[in-house]
Structure 1
């Protein structure tokens, strides 16, 4: 078993909480009288959509059923903002004479969010699985309280995190209509979020972003931000877009106002694929930490990436100074007293906690004292159980199965020659990119340093080469033939665009297939519309055969369950990225057993990366 596998398993133990009898979770305390019985009798006939009427309570606007009578409801009172506060910096001749909080419109203070209980909408609750009910209640306990704070939902990919948070946001907005949720996420999955919202919305909420309206300039972006502040709506931004605005050094009134809005207006901040901002030296993490709301929610299916410190960076984002809190401090001291690395001083006086991270990681990975490992894991559980909710994905056991192969391939003689030439490179990433091309086919050695060639140039190259000279190219064609004969669809992932372009054009040449019919491609440059269209066509069209995806562009939120065979062309230095890629097919709704093939060329850097 490799160190990375050990690390994954041990950290899963760290994250996992004690199993609970989730079926004992009590039903929402709606009402104990006859309205409940009436509601259940009509469930099959009506998809209830409840509205609050002052004289009756929560009433279905379709069939008229009363879910909760007015006398049982203590509603929230909001302090209405004065009209004069709905002004913006662009309306001022001199912003220096104004308080910055007045420049950004209505600012909902914590005093305005009077604490009241919230519950999932009946339509959502009917669809929730036990772990989603637990997750919803966990969100409520952290976000709807006298002293709100942030939290992390570390649920397995495909377990329905998006649906759960959509349900919570709608319940939150129903109680706090002046609240302004902000969702920051990888740009490529914004379309998936919007589609989910449209499926599960119980109220027609505007879903705003910069991409749909092509708001490229700061002035255009300010108009979108104004609209978000002025009306009950939800704003979606990509990580890079958010950090570019917050970290913008331009001192213009428009740029300053955009920053003020993003930092002061959000009432709740949702971070999808929340492991993205894990590096403390990046603009993304630093800009997100400046958002003033205490209600920050991280969603991640692969929270642990490479190092223990990165997890604590995310914990510090949702709970500032997490290790210095009254809850954490005694546990930090307890852990430090248990663990030991020769030569490492147990010194926390500098406040960096570097020794703590190093000692914990060493204990989990290299300590031979199993009892000490278990004890440290239990301490970490206790430290994080109020802010981190973990679900490993029991639903995966119900799927037909996953067979995950690592395929060690011997390079051909021509590939060995080209591989030896790559040893002159000193930069690790350059070597990885070169090996990815050369070990697919040696004829690609002249192209990896250039931009990806056009279809015509790649077709010219294909006319000159012998496919048998490339060990991975041969494997791909054999797998393509197998899938065609068995009626299966194939996924192919790579970190680099050149191998994907080569195999795409090889499929066209050998099979006479067409892009958009049998062949589909997603890269970082693909628009949200193209991603959605490609996923839908690949999963549902009877003609689709093979899907080529940039592994980075196919993160969480991408569903490719139409495929049952997966080829990973190269070794990623972060193993969780590869697990995510496999999870694009191995997730709920999958009807077939999934086979994954991780291709590794023996005898070169690629093989060394795999073993480490």
Structure 2
């Protein structure tokens, strides 16, 4: 106590000795003295002491009932896939003669070892599909039942991932739906399947499921809303027993959030890829994402199973059977036009290779009543304005072409040369269509004139007279309209469709248009308007790629290809919009080609690629070699083609009215018209397997 107040002992000090130092209070040591020997013990920091690391153990995560169900489901799918390994190995072992040239000896030995270890006598004998199953509502055609039987045998019984490659229009969608319904209803194979489709046919798939297999619980997985994506992950994908089939798009599979959930959350019973050739390049994002999908078996749907080279065929086979097709060398060495390499024996071997795992039928093979498709190529001359622009483009880049002519012979030629050639290619192709595709080429005109005044009429007619193709189109449409035919017209360029649309307004033709900007709702409305009996719509103008899938225009009997794509499959898909099952009239296809220009060489190159199709796929091919596959020397050769005539100002000769009338005359057979001998066109018919293109001239 100090003066009656309580004081802590540590604070009780007198004025002479003063307050104790911190050193004394904290360490409880005597004050330092110079005479005394001081020994201070230095403690090592705790961080430097060698002690066992302190591990914080996370509490065991409690697995709820839904997660437990999903885990059990995924385990059962993986177990079923492992159980089918022996059957799959025995299937490939039976076809080892055609398989061996394309796989490594290590893969051959692995197949034989698995096949020998599997006891087939213990396998249950599956019941074959003899007729249309009751679980499929409606009536299937006989070849579609055969396709179902093949899918059940290959995928369901043998566990072999396969390709259904029927030609467009033969009902691959129906056969796939029937397979999924049969396996679940008859074979009692439970577990949801994933169907991945292009965005343009998403609605068609869901409608077909409701039509042919209404008992299947189908969910549509496609949305851009973050809230809907979260709901799908929590309420749908979290419970695999709540649905039978999930239909989604390649865009959703490529997305970060929902794509990861679709790939990793659920092990799917069957993975179905519509337009399966989208994974033909194994390096693309969508191909990489699809490889992460966990599933028991894979079914690829494509009307184009064979690409322009055998490496893309390898990409499909490697995706389906990565443990068997481990190297692309045998495929790459068989067919490569950039190196003038064509091995006929290897191509024949490739044809035999895909037969066991690929079912391919053509329309003329299964639908004897389907009317014929007649393809006619019409050579259109360049107009004087087109000749001016074509010559101007070549002169503008003449110095570049001259330097590149020596550069392409060097092995170290850079990519800049190829990019410049590619840009010139595109400009020349646009010139072949219409000079108004170039900025500043079209005369000043606001488009509000009606054509009644003579001065405005000349401006309208310039749209026709400025292009050789438009001049031929103008005369053809007048004849077709007068005879009551209905037309579909395809072009690759939306800006070309703008010009054609102006022309339709000028001539007063009733039309509808479809391009990439057309909404799905508007697309369905326009298609229904065009196909309705008694429709007053004369022509449907479409972008080749936007209108190549999910569009049924069989009420038309005429298809005009205003320009041709580097990929001939897009053109074939365009034709298939009209020439399909249900068509009752002969389908006439008119392909426009500007004579003596780069466009003619592009079409010739596409035709040469049909050789690969004929040899390997027996009558059908997916695509011509892409533009980037062309060598610089080939591109220069194409650019030079016809240049001498362009600079000599020689004008081509357009078909006369008499010749055009003979082309569109449907009242006589192909061999009866005496005028066809002098047509400025090339006619092709048939495109049948292992048969040369028949010339009707």
TM-score by structure 2 length? Answer: 0.60
Contact 1:151 1:319 (C-alpha < 8 Å) held by counterparts? no
Change in Cα spacing, 1:418 to 1:501, as seen in structure 2 (3 Å) is same
Aligned to 2:468: 471
Listed one character per residue, the Cα deviations across residues 301-329 of structure 1 (whole Å, up to 9, x for unaligned) are 122232111112112112224435xxxxx
Report the secondary structure of 2:536's partner residue: coil
Aligned ranges for residues 212-223 of structure 1 at < 5 Å? 215-223=223-231
Report the Cα distance in structure 2 between the residues aligned to 1:560 and 1:354, rounded to whole angstroms: 42
Aligned ranges for residues 185-196 of structure 1 at < 5 Å? 185-196=197-208
Structure 1 position 108, deviation (Å): 5.0
Aligned to 1:84: 64
Change in Cα spacing, 1:464 to 1:558, as seen in structure 2 (3 Å) is closer
Report the Cα distance in structure 2 between the residues aligned to 1:191 and 1:553, rounded to whole angstroms: 15
Contact 1:535 1:559 (C-alpha < 8 Å) held by counterparts? yes
Contact 1:555 1:580 (C-alpha < 8 Å) held by counterparts? yes
Aligned to 1:239: 250
Aligned to 1:269: 271
Report the secondary structure of 2:169's partner residue: coil
Aligned to 1:417: 388
1:439 and 2:419 matched: no
Aligned to 2:294: 292
Aligned ranges for residues 557-572 of structure 1 at < 5 Å? 557-572=550-565
Aligned to 1:224: 232
Aligned to 2:518: 526
Deviates more, 1:559-568 or 1:114-123: 114-123
Report the Cα distance in structure 2 between the residues aligned to 1:270 and 1:455, rounded to whole angstroms: 48
Report the Cα distance in structure 2 between the residues aligned to 1:171 and 1:83, rounded to whole angstroms: 34
Listed one character per residue, the Cα deviations across residues 94-149 of structure 1 (whole Å, up to 9, x for unaligned) are xxxxx9x86x997652446898758553364973333322321221123323x624
Aligned ranges for residues 355-434 of structure 1 at < 5 Å? 356-360=331-335, 373=344, 376-393=346-363, 394-395=365-366, 397-423=368-394, 424=396, 427=420, 430-431=423-424, 433-434=426-427
Contact 1:436 1:499 (C-alpha < 8 Å) held by counterparts? no
Unaligned segments of structure 2, at least 5 residues: 1-61, 84-123, 398-418, 606-697
Aligned to 1:537: 529
Change in Cα spacing, 1:429 to 1:209, as seen in structure 2 (3 Å) is farther
Listed one character per residue, the Cα deviations across residues 451-502 of structure 1 (whole Å, up to 9, x for unaligned) are xx99879999964835222111122222221221111111111111111121
> How many equivalent pairs are there?
464
Aligned to 1:498: 495
Report the Cα distance in structure 1 between the residues aligned to 2:226 and 2:569, rounded to whole angstroms: 36
Contact 1:305 1:575 (C-alpha < 8 Å) held by counterparts? no
Aligned ranges for residues 441-456 of structure 1 at < 5 Å? 441-446=434-439
Report the Cα distance in structure 2 between the residues aligned to 1:309 and 1:457, rounded to whole angstroms: 54
Report the Cα distance in structure 2 between the residues aligned to 1:316 and 1:186, rounded to whole angstroms: 22
Aligned to 2:283: 281
Aligned to 1:7: none
Report the Cα distance in structure 1 between the residues aligned to 2:160 and 2:447, rounded to whole angstroms: 52
Contact 1:272 1:298 (C-alpha < 8 Å) held by counterparts? yes
Aligned to 2:485: 488
Contact 1:271 1:299 (C-alpha < 8 Å) held by counterparts? yes
Structure 1 position 299, deviation (Å): 0.7
Report the Cα distance in structure 2 between the residues aligned to 1:398 and 1:366, rounded to whole angstroms: 40
1:509 and 2:509 matched: no
Structure 1 position 564, deviation (Å): 1.2
Contact 2:194 2:245 (C-alpha < 8 Å) held by counterparts? yes
Report the Cα distance in structure 1 between the residues aligned to 2:560 and 2:245, rounded to whole angstroms: 37
Report the Cα distance in structure 2 between the residues aligned to 1:284 and 1:484, rounded to whole angstroms: 44
The counterpart of 2:307, out of the listed 300, 305, 308, is 305
Change in Cα spacing, 1:555 to 1:207, as seen in structure 2 (3 Å) is farther
The counterpart of 1:205, out of the listed 187, 211, 217, is 217
Listed one character per residue, the Cα deviations across residues 249-282 of structure 1 (whole Å, up to 9, x for unaligned) are xxxxxx3x75143345222111111112211221
Report the secondary structure of 2:375's partner residue: strand
Contact 1:438 1:444 (C-alpha < 8 Å) held by counterparts? yes
TM-score by structure 1 length? Answer: 0.68
Contact 1:149 1:294 (C-alpha < 8 Å) held by counterparts? no
Change in Cα spacing, 1:579 to 1:464, as seen in structure 2 (3 Å) is closer
- When the two chains are superposed, the root-mean-square deviation of aligned CA atoms in Å is 3.6
Structure 1 position 286, deviation (Å): 1.4
Contact 1:554 1:581 (C-alpha < 8 Å) held by counterparts? yes
Aligned to 2:571: 578
The counterpart of 1:591, out of the listed 577, 584, 592, is 584
Contact 1:419 1:604 (C-alpha < 8 Å) held by counterparts? no
Aligned to 1:171: 182
Report the secondary structure of 1:567's partner residue: strand
Change in Cα spacing, 1:363 to 1:468, as seen in structure 2 (3 Å) is closer
Deviates more, 1:554-563 or 1:481-490: 554-563
Contact 2:272 2:298 (C-alpha < 8 Å) held by counterparts? yes
Contact 1:152 1:318 (C-alpha < 8 Å) held by counterparts? no
Structure 1 position 433, deviation (Å): 4.3
Listed one character per residue, the Cα deviations across residues 205-234 of structure 1 (whole Å, up to 9, x for unaligned) are 233131xxxx31445223224444331142
Change in Cα spacing, 1:151 to 1:505, as seen in structure 2 (3 Å) is same
Aligned ranges for residues 329-344 of structure 1 at < 5 Å? none
Aligned ranges for residues 21-40 of structure 1 at < 5 Å? none
Report the secondary structure of 1:563's partner residue: coil
Change in Cα spacing, 1:258 to 1:160, as seen in structure 2 (3 Å) is closer
